[in-house]
Structure 1
Amino acid sequence: MNADLTDPDAVTLLISQVTSELGPVDILVNNAGAYPRIPWEQTDEHAWAHALDLNLTIHYRTSHAVTPSMVQRRWGRIINVSSVNARTGRPGLTAYSTAKAGLIGLTRSLARELGPHGICVNTVLPGAIQVDAETTLPAHHRTRPEDQITRQCIPRRGQPEDVAAAIAFLAGPSTSFITGQSLHIDGGWYLH
């Protein structure tokens, strides 16, 4: 099923379709977004609003759509996918980094609001994960892998499986006492 998550009506329809075909949503992984690199001096109101919508507001929409049934069943997991850039910042990614930092606030606030209903809400913050999409970036936006590795404690590229394992852990039944947390999957890039 596909939906334009920037359209509130499409989100409502998507959740309705999922629920009718698969049953109530128990686990929501908010992993949609975009990585627009726009220098600060070129960031206008439209670019700012668009980056926040794609990287923060859509997570509000999907979370808001699934939580009523989670509250009713008194169980659920919401895992937001943020970015290490929420904590480090990066030139050309001001709106993106701001939105990803907003996910940490959304996570903490939802954890407090939904925790009494048995719902755990956490965030994962991937670092430089090796994905096919990075080859589509213009060369001047790419970080050389060897330069990235020198920032990390673990000297290898992160893999999608590294992030997936953390999400699977947080989605599981054994994490009923973990909520409002931010888990970095970045090879020790940002130590906190």
Structure 2
Amino acid sequence: MTFANYPSLSGRVVFVTGGASGIGADIVRAFTGSGAKVAFVDIQEEAGQALAADLAGAEHGPRFFRCDLTDIEATRAIIAEVGRQLGPIGVLVNNAANDDRHEIDDVTPEYWDWSQSINLRPQFFTAQAVRPQMQALGGGSIINFSSIAWRGGAPNMPSYTTAKAAVLGLTRSLARAFGADNIRVNAIEPGAVMTEKQHALWYPTPESVEAMVSRQCIRTVLLGEEIARTALFLGADDSRMITKQSITVDGGLR
């Protein structure tokens, strides 16, 4: 297959959260391969450094910064540093999340707050922090990550699904608030993407993978590359009149 190339992404500064592994790593690879200047953060330092080293030979090798996104001040500082080193950020990809499973009776207030601090809160504060840089550019694109899990009402992850539903409300509010600055805000809702983590924790056997794929209209294993290509489109000028929207990429699972 041959996929689209987006010339408008060449030299554009892109900031990706949770970029060291899984879907995030595929997003880092995709934007780097499109000639963008990518900076990405993750708490997984070894994996982040390895990915940056692997892509160092690209036109613009990506830069990795270790960051715990629950530390808002540290996140703000890194966003400011990226702006100084690479130039104003033109694309923000709020990918980081943790889809931990949990029984309802086991949820404590502390666990609930921890889940929101990873799956929801950083998406607002990163958007707030990049806004001045995008204003300086005359516009930009913010891509938030939701999930189809909330639509089906997954019973074993209520704090996660609550956060992912809230991401769509946040996306619509920010799109309205930032629109006058020519900043677009959209969301992506991935389906059952078969990352290494998903294989290890939730789909450990070929039979378990096939059972999920059989529920999709398109009976093909969903990979992070498909999500990354959607992010490329939303980051590029080709989608310049698309905002306040959510795109589901799930092979027709729902």
Q: TM-score range by the shorter chain?
A: over 0.9
Q: What's 1:33 paired with?
A: 97
Q: What's 1:168 paired with?
A: 232
Partner deviation per Cα, 1:33-89 (whole Å, 9 max, x = no partner): 111111111111111111111000011111111012212432110001111112122
The aligned runs of 1:1-40 (5 Å cut-off) are 1-40=65-104
- Structure 1 residues 180, 139: CA separation in 2 closer, same or farther (over 3 Å shift)? closer
Structure 2 distance, partners of 1:136, 1:14, is: 31
The aligned runs of 1:77-92 (5 Å cut-off) are 77-92=141-156
The structure 1 segments of at least 4 consecutive aligned residues displaced by more than 2 Å after TM superposition are 71-74
- Structure 1 residues 144, 29: CA separation in 2 closer, same or farther (over 3 Å shift)? same
Q: What's 2:160 paired with?
A: 96
Note if contact 2:88-2:137 (Cα within 8 Å) is conserved in structure 1: no
CA shift at 1:139, angstroms? 7.2
Q: What's 2:211 paired with?
A: 147
The aligned runs of 1:50-65 (5 Å cut-off) are 50-65=114-129
**Which structure features the higher share of helix residues?**
1
Structure 2 distance, partners of 1:11, 1:51, is: 17
CA shift at 1:32, angstroms? 0.7
Percent identity reads: 37
2:219 equivalent to 1:133: no
Structure 1 distance, partners of 2:111, 2:211, is: 29
2:171 equivalent to 1:107: yes
Q: What's 2:135 paired with?
A: 71
The TM-score, its normalising length taken from structure 2, stands at: 0.71
Would you say how many aligned residue pairs link Structure 1 and Structure 2?
A: 189
Name the SS for the 1:125 alignment partner. strand
Name the SS for the 1:77 alignment partner. strand
CA shift at 1:20, angstroms? 1.2
**Greater RCO structure (CA 8 Å; 6+ sep):** 1
Partner deviation per Cα, 1:88-125 (whole Å, 9 max, x = no partner): 22121100000011110111111111112111100000
RMSD over aligned CA atoms reads: 1.7
Structure 1 distance, partners of 2:218, 2:189, is: 16
- Structure 1 residues 77, 10: CA separation in 2 closer, same or farther (over 3 Å shift)? same
Name the SS for the 1:144 alignment partner. helix
Larger mean CA deviation between 144-153 and 165-174 belongs to 144-153
Q: What's 1:47 paired with?
A: 111
Structure 2 distance, partners of 1:149, 1:84, is: 15
Q: Which runs of 5+ in 1 are unaligned?
A: none
Note if contact 1:71-1:114 (Cα within 8 Å) is conserved in structure 2: no
Structure 1 distance, partners of 2:244, 2:133, is: 20
Write the letter of the residue equivalent to 2:131: T
